[in-house]
Every structure is written in C-alpha cells, then in structure tokens.
Amino acid sequence: MQLEEYINLDGIALAEHIAQKKIRASELIELTFKQLDRVNPHLNVLAYDMRTQALEAAQQFDKTFKGVVSSPLAGIPLLIKDLLTDIAGTPTGSGSRLLKDKYSPGDADLTQSYRAGGLILAGKTTTPEWGLQPFTESDAYGDTPNPWDLTRTCGGSSGGSAAAVAARIVPIAHASDGGGSIRIPASNCGLVGLKPSRGRVSNGPMIEGWQGMVCQHAVTRTVRDSAAMLDIAAQHTPQAVELYACPAPPVGGFLAHLDQPLPRQLIGYSLTPLMGGKVEPAIKQGFEHSLTLLENLGHKVVDVSRLMNQFFASSDEFCDTMLVILAAEMAHLKRTLQQRLGRKIKAHDVELSSWALMIYGEHLSAGELFDARTTMLAQVQAAQDIMRQYAVLMTPTLSSLPAKLGALRPGFLETQMLDVFVAKLKLEGVLNHSPFVKLTSRKIMQYVGFTMPFNMSGQPAISVPLYWHSEKKRRLPIGMQFIAGHGQELLLLQLAHELEQAYPWAQHIPTGLANILN
C-alpha cells in the first residue's frame, strides 16, 4: 500500500486490508508515522510519541493474527488524547507542563477496551491545559493549528486528535467532551464527532468528570468508523463505576444497524445559542443549506427556538452554572495535585487562566456548587420534555467560523490583571467580588453556546460537516449538530450516515495543509 492510498481510506477499510492479508499491521503503522513526519512540523498534533511501542504492538499483532478479528478496526493505528485516558508507562500530561513527565502506572478502562478491540496505540495528541478551552494552545506544547487554515484554531479540547485525523495521519483518534470538546474540533476540522450519552462509555478509574458532564469517544472521517469505535468503547469493564443508567447498545452493535432504513424524522431546529452570543452569516448560510438537505431527504423540520428557550435555562444561568462547576472542579484538581506531588501548587506551575479558576473555585461556597449542580440536573428534565415532542434537535455546532489562533485566549489587559492581582499581589479574593472572571469566561461560553447545554442534559449529540465556507482561497468546514434522547446514539448515527450518503464529505482534503505540501 502506498501512502496516497493509506490517507484516503477510513479505519474499517484499512482493517479489511489487514484481515484479507493485503497488508500487515506493522506496515500500516509505518505509513502512519510517515504521514506524521510529513505533516506534523506544520500542525504540532503530538504530545507524546509512542512509535516504538506502536511498532512492537503491531509486530506482535502480525505474529498472533490468525484471520479472526476482535473488532472491525483490529490492527489499525489510534491516537489518544493526552487527557483522562491513561496508557500504562506513558505520561498523561493533560496539556500542562506540571504533569508533562508524570507517567501513568496502568491503563484506563477505555484503554483496555481499545487494546481488546485490536487497536494499535500510536501516540498522544495535544490538548489545552486540563481540557478547559475550545482551542488547542498551551504553554506546555504550543499551538495546534487547523489543517484547513493554518492561521486558525483546530478547536478544542480534542484539537490535536481532530487535526491529526483531518490531516490523514490516522483515520480515527480518541477524544473527550465536557462542553463540546469532541464536537467543536470536529466542526472546525470537517469531521464526524459524536458525544455519547452520559454513562455510555466508562471514564474509569475516574468516577466522573465535571459533575458528570465529561464523556469520551472519538473523532473520525466517516460515520461507520464512529459506530465501530462506539461498539468497542461501550464495553462494560470491571472497573467501571455506573453512576448513570444508560440503555444497552442495540443487539449486534451500532455498526450492524447503520444501514437499516431510517424512518422520516420530525426534527426541531434552532439558530438561537442557548448560552448567548450571535451567529455569524457564514454559519447561517450553512444552516439553511443543511435544512434544505434534510427536507430533500423527506424529513420534517420545525423551528423550536422558543420552545428550547422555554424549557432550558437562560443564557445567564447556563454561563454562571458552568463557571461554578469548572471553578469547583479546578479547586478540587489543585488539592488532588498537591496530594499527588507532595507540595503546594503555585501560580507559576500552571497557566494564569487555570490558576484564576482554581482560586475562584476555592472561594466558592458549598451552596453555590449545590445550586449549580441543581441547575445542571434540571436540564436533564428539560431535555426529556422536549424530546417527547421531537425525535431529533438540530443546531449549528458553533456560532462562528474557526477563530484565529490566539483570538480566544485572554488579552493583554486581562493577562496583566491576572498576573498582578492573583500571581503577584495574591489578592485572590478580588476575583469572586469583581466581574472579571465572569466577563472573560463569558466570551468562551458564548463560543460554545450550542454544545455545552447538552453536556448538562447528558444527551448524545453529533457534529457532521455539511457545509464548506470559501474564504480567500481557503475552504472552512462548518459542522451541524444533531441531538437525540438519552441512549439514542443509534438514531444519530443512522441519520448522520444517511446525510453522509447524500452529501459525502470524507474525500475533502484540507486546503491549508494541501497548499503547504504541494
């Protein structure tokens, strides 16, 4: 197999080549690293290189392979996001210089599932510090740009994974989502990004993340790869702590049902961001295009903006709730890190925005956290009320085109204020008695105004690339988000698969990267 063939095949197709003995897993992993070395100098997607371990694992796969596959993806390379999912003997740096060289003693539940599915773990991808941001720029690893336009963000926090898949380094990469961190980079990079239902995939040995808002899955170029990955990830493991009831996967798995005829659906849509902010004209154009596509396929679409505003929390409630949850989690992380490292964590150990959240969280009351969790859980009931009327909800994934690199980070004045009041003068208490943190966080909250509410509700949501915006000889993908009831990932996958057949997207090559390589 030549490199050009490798980069145009999805994971299932590559695994079929292995199963048919047209190529060995060790040869495939060599192509992976050939493409990585070709494009990574421009993209900076790798937090930790595992090529030695990957080659050894692939060679072992070849030796023991007897023609029986453990999954439809057995033998293909997989990159793991450098957050949450530990791999024994490698660091989980979480995008922070504080943990960059801290090695994990064992595999996470999900890592075990991936190994059992025959996947070859090839490396760890870049992420913003602690996965807090919808862009992938960190002091520890630098910036990871968008393969479609190297001056723009790939999104976050699973940005390194999305950029790697868009750039054809691997067909699939692991990702996680606490407020949009699978769907945002999927939208920015022209990929399929499914956030599963709360409780579908084990986060073990971690009990839960961000009060249950965090879940894990993958970014892919094709819907069938996403379905196959969910079949692997949804395996129950002895270490999993089941806090949330989730319906069992369909008999035979998600992939097996992907081609079944899908009844025409009643789809409620909204162009009003639940967390505030405005929608750019390019997004509106893409949204109208997508509505027309759905209608041409026979689905009925209805504007439910008023209904969603009626049932869900207000934008102020959403933003305030998310800030309290994140700040409380960061304060808890600070205590946990101090116990793990055996010393106090100081301002210079982490990025200023992370430190500000840690301090803000330390000054919150138990009542404030309780109120925030109550508001979050109220969105579960709100979602159930809406889904009794509509099978699927549709929104844009993002309100705007991919932001310019650095545009979403704190500005000069914001950084100086943090540095003076918090890091130098240690006047931490002023943060909770001034609008500073709320105002700076609001910009980020509004950027993820369509995705974060469905982390609170726990519903499955998928972003698929249904529109490309042309701008100065660059084509920028725009994702559309579809949301279903809790446990209804199959409905979303079937709808996305139908859209993929009607409007194929996997063959699109990122223009920013192509211009450099040609």
Determine the 3-state secondary structure of 433 from DSSP. helix
The CA-based dihedral angle spanning residues 378, 382, 384, 390, taken in that order and rounded to the nearest 10 degrees: -160
Q: Scanning the structure block, which residue is given the tokens 């006047």?
A: 427
Q: Which residues are CB-neighbours of 415 under 8 A, at least 6 positions away?
A: 352
User: Does residue 174 contact residue 85 with C-beta atoms inside 8 Å?
Assistant: yes
User: Does residue 394 contact residue 482 with C-beta atoms inside 8 Å?
Assistant: yes
Catalytic sites, residue numbers: 81, 157, 181
Q: Which residues are CB-neighbours of 224 under 8 A, at least 6 positions away?
A: 10, 12, 255, 258, 497
- How many Å separate Cα 207 from the centre of its chain? 19
Beta strands in 64-214 (DSSP E): 77-81, 120-125, 137-138, 142-143, 145-146, 149-153, 172-177, 192-195
Determine the 3-state secondary structure of 32 from DSSP. helix
Give the end-to-end CA distance of the chain in Å, rounded to a whole number: 21
Alpha helices per DSSP H over 142-199: 159-166, 183-189
User: Does residue 39 contact residue 72 with C-beta atoms inside 8 Å?
Assistant: no
Helix or strand holding residue 384 (H, E): helix 366-387
DSSP secondary-structure letter at 88?
T
